[in-house]
Chain A
């Protein structure tokens, strides 16, 4: 759909908008149908579709979803829909190209969450990268050139190392049957791989995913990219791009190299802890609202890393759920920061003092969004963060340290709200129109619904898959 958007849009920008947003609506409806038809409780892959692609080289088009990809698929289509809707107001430059790249991005992201072939996964992974480079570079803020190039080089170098992990697995498992890039074939073979080789492959893929997630020493592209990107793109970046890293870690690292991860998990979780606390500390000093939200992402993705490498069912499924909840909460905050910037001309937290006077409803939504990000009980984020920490504690009490991170998170969010919302209102009123407000509210609905009643997703979709996968990998518990 991307190509017709570009071609038609050349003639009239209105058409590009309609097709662009229309397609995201259609895709979202399809994903709702998938949600409805999904067989809850069954651990395997469903809706698998296979086609021969380059089978001579072990490459086939194989897609399917299971309990781990289902929540991410929903959030991908949902966020794409909301971000496209938000672009209507926030993007006014070169619209045909924008919506064409947008749909290319959506293709890539859905492909990442559904493909079951390593190379196919990598193809979609990179398909996501290129539109993002142009999004930041063309539609971004003042430092967009620097940010876009930094983003491209960081993530591309990371992917290259990840690709090494993939081709190495292909070659090393070739000894036990015809070599293949098929995920379902490979997970049965990697188990019998020699330990040093598993460790190498695990490390290589870890680096690739760590850049995307991002993880402490490799995160420096993130604040730049998020701050410079236009608000709807920041939603995609934080809401979906980072989730690719988390999803990859679970599916292509943990489930493929369990033995190596059993050896490496202390290092991985320690990095996760550092990332959590570091992200939260840096967010404290951020003056720019968007930068603060960006650092929140670093902070929250640390949870995903920690949860994943507790190697326990509780932690892993909570990590998946955390990605779901974080994508919504941070997506909402980013889009809001875009609207606030457009209406007030600033994103500096100190200059936003008295926002209540100008945009009362938005301020109320900002408070809700912050509550979600702070993981206040009642929001989905609470469930996931609580379970991750619980899972971590069940491994060793040392992870009591993890409690520091939510404490810091609450601290900086409250401080931000103290400055923005709890100050005397300064007029005149300049509120958002109804549509943007509706879009922002739409983020809250699933957060609250799954915050109060997480069972349908957590217990019947994610848990069975994770339980099953882990019980195969770690017979007799971790």
Chain B
């Protein structure tokens, strides 16, 4: 097949992911990180470059079985590889001297591949393969510090709940197959349109199971319990991958399944998502205010952010059938991934240098670690949705989409989301206050490793670029949303 070269980014990640572990075993020498790190980085860079190249090249979407290579896939590949790159670069300092760097980078790449497969799958079986390929390496990554009981506890908790979500999804897939006789999303949609009343209830159960299964990974209320513990216990760079990569991949899968497949059945799952969205963002924001540790605060803030993205599933299209909410959701995925990864990398920098991550240790950080503090400020303002940073525009699109939706509750959803967004400023502002206005207990300056600061600066620059001139990005996500909705008629 002549189209195989379209798969370059995915193959590159797979090949390097498999190679990294054995390669790392041979040539370690005195280097604190080993060949594995560089090999992993090379794989990700190749994937990134080829993704951007292929994404801009355009061209019709090509399907390899259920593996759909379209703009949506390239978009998510770009986002996920970017997250993975950030994690890999910062790991050069974070994993320094660790005996398990080779498996670490190998698992990082394989997990990223799983996320990409998840985003690309138009077939439920492939979706499940991607789901497991994403999840299994992250269990090991969470527990990579074998001697650290927190890391092990986090991995255990994460594993149990994640395994449960996998089971739910398998069950949902089998029910869907039983009802529709197909695992292809387009075929499922056309079958669901004419579903009989006898099988309808099974389809409903399948929908509920999908929501719950994806919900665990998307970290929405009431499936969010594992998040704070796992995020706090896992190595912080892995947390960045879980919070941005795994979560956004789950959203990608949910977008595919619900927007392309399940929409056809005449069930109001939109209001379910709206209720879950409201519960998620409210709980996340309120709980974040009460946290004493920085990673837990970030964990709850990421739960709240998941609530905003859910608006895209609750109100994907406007009254005029333009997919504004969906576009806003995709834009939010991009912005959130950049900002949240940056924030967790900053947390990693602080926790390695200070050995604690209580909020008190952030007092006077503006003087002790000026670069980190400045970047955290930008990330937090972006998360709070302060213009002209990137988070603002995606939020405006989401909220406008909610008001503009054909549902009568759209306005309430938007009001709740906006009040939440205003409320979230209280804890973001509180941290900024600590960093710049409070006096530190120990005001000595701390060295900031380049591995962290380079990632943070790249993220900050992206925050500004997207925020100040969002037009090309808005066009991109609107095109994506349009093509995703267009798949319904394929």
Can you report 16 residue pairs joining A to B where beta carbons are below 8 Å apart?
A57-B478, A126-B386, A126-B392, A137-B433, A137-B436, A144-B437, A145-B437, A152-B425, A153-B426, A157-B422, A157-B423, A164-B399, A164-B403, A168-B414, A170-B403, A172-B403
- How many Cβ-Cβ contacts under 8 Å join chain A to chain B? 107
* A168: chain B residues within 8 A (beta carbon): 403, 411, 414
B residues apposed to A, CB below 8 Å: 318-320, 381, 384, 386-388, 392-393, 396-397, 399-400, 403-404, 411, 414-415, 418-419, 421-423, 425-426, 429-430, 432-433, 436-438, 469-471, 474-475, 478
Shortest B399–chain A CB gap in Å is 5
* B471: chain A residues within 8 A (beta carbon): 52-56
Tell me the dominant secondary structure on chain B's binding face: helix
How many angstroms between the C-alpha atoms of A123 and B467 in the bound complex?
Answer: 10
* B388: chain A residues within 8 A (beta carbon): 123, 127
Establish whether residues A149 and B415, one from each chain, have CB atoms under 8 Å apart when the complex forms. no
* B418: chain A residues within 8 A (beta carbon): 160-161, 163-164
* B386: chain A residues within 8 A (beta carbon): 126, 129-130, 156
Establish whether residues B318 and A156, one from each chain, have CB atoms under 8 Å apart when the complex forms. no
Shortest A135–chain B CB gap in Å is 11
Q: Which of A55, A158, A167 has the most CB of B within 10 A?
A: A167
Give residues 39-74 of A contacting B (CB, 8 Å): 52-57, 59
Shortest B199–chain A CB gap in Å is 37
**Interface size of A as a range:** 35 or more
How many angstroms between the C-alpha atoms of A133 and B431 in the bound complex?
Answer: 13
Establish whether residues B474 and A138, one from each chain, have CB atoms under 8 Å apart when the complex forms. no
Shortest B266–chain A CB gap in Å is 25
User: Does chain B have a CB within 8 A of A119?
Assistant: yes
Establish whether residues B474 and A56, one from each chain, have CB atoms under 8 Å apart when the complex forms. yes
User: When the two chains form the complex, which single residue of B403, B426, B429, B436 contacts A167, counting CB atoms closer than 8 Å?
Assistant: B403
A158-180, CB under 8 A of B: which get 1 and which 0?
11110110011011101100010
CB contact under 8 A between A127 and B387, given known A153-B425, A167-B414? yes
* A170: chain B residues within 8 A (beta carbon): 400, 403-404
* B437: chain A residues within 8 A (beta carbon): 137-138, 144-145, 148
* B419: chain A residues within 8 A (beta carbon): 157, 160-161
Establish whether residues B425 and A157, one from each chain, have CB atoms under 8 Å apart when the complex forms. yes
User: When the two chains form the complex, which single residue of A57, A123, A156 contacts B397, counting CB atoms closer than 8 Å?
Assistant: A57
User: Does chain B have a CB within 8 A of A122?
Assistant: yes
Establish whether residues B396 and A167, one from each chain, have CB atoms under 8 Å apart when the complex forms. yes
Shortest B278–chain A CB gap in Å is 15
User: Does chain B have a CB within 8 A of A134?
Assistant: yes
How many angstroms between the C-alpha atoms of A126 and B381 in the bound complex?
Answer: 11
A60 nearest in chain B by CB position: B471
Shortest B71–chain A CB gap in Å is 16
Q: A148-B433, A172-B403 are in contact. List 9 more A-B contacts (CB 8 A).
A: A54-B471, A126-B386, A130-B386, A133-B429, A153-B426, A164-B403, A167-B400, A171-B400, A174-B318
User: When the two chains form the complex, which single residue of B319, B392, B415, B478 contacts A123, counting CB atoms closer than 8 Å?
Assistant: B392
CB contact under 8 A between A156 and B384, given known A144-B437, A161-B422? yes
* B393: chain A residues within 8 A (beta carbon): 54, 57
